[in-house]
Structure 1
Amino acid sequence: MNQQNSDIEEAKDKAKALENDLEKVSKEKRFSRSAIDNLNSERDTLSRFIDTVSNRTKDLNETKRVATFTRVLRVYNVSQTNTTRCPCHGKVTDTNLL
């Protein structure tokens, strides 16, 4: 319980320090606090969008990899099951082509 109380106090102190830093920056850079909040909100929105696009790209790449593997496996299986050796010259022939 004491640890939780000290963690809460530490968090409050950090929040107050951040609040003071924000006030200082807004005065130095001549930005209003609402302008800073809006910029932070835009940054967060862009960050979420970038994460979404990144995740979709990873998913598409994974889907592409699986599809390619499936095609290769299908071709391999077809070539293993539908081939015959020509009795005259011994060449392997795909029976799907006949």
Structure 2
Amino acid sequence: MQDEGVLSVAVAGEHRTRSKIVLVEIIHQTLDVLLTAEEARLVHWDGRILRVHKLSSRKANQILHAPDAYPGFLGVFDHRARYRDLAEPLGDIVGVQL
């Protein structure tokens, strides 16, 4: 696995159902990454991309030191993460129930 995983999707009006399905798939992909990761990862939604950062990365450090500057910060997760752990905060951000 590279230093960061990048998974993307856009949520748009008429494509909301398809986008919701894509978001669900991306959450599952993120959980797969977390399941195989040796250590916890920071998960961040930047408005169109769900990013997974090693805690030692520069970006993770920036987010952890100023979480209010990154409204898409979902949290720090390890292999014990569950679907709801990611779906609830991401759903709140994008305005759909996942």
- TM-score w.r.t. structure 2 length? 0.30
Larger Cα Rg: Structure 1 or Structure 2?
A: 1
- TM-score w.r.t. structure 1 length? 0.30
Larger strand percent: 2
Identify which of structures 1 and 2 has the higher relative contact order when contacts are C-alpha pairs closer than 8 Å and 6+ apart.
2
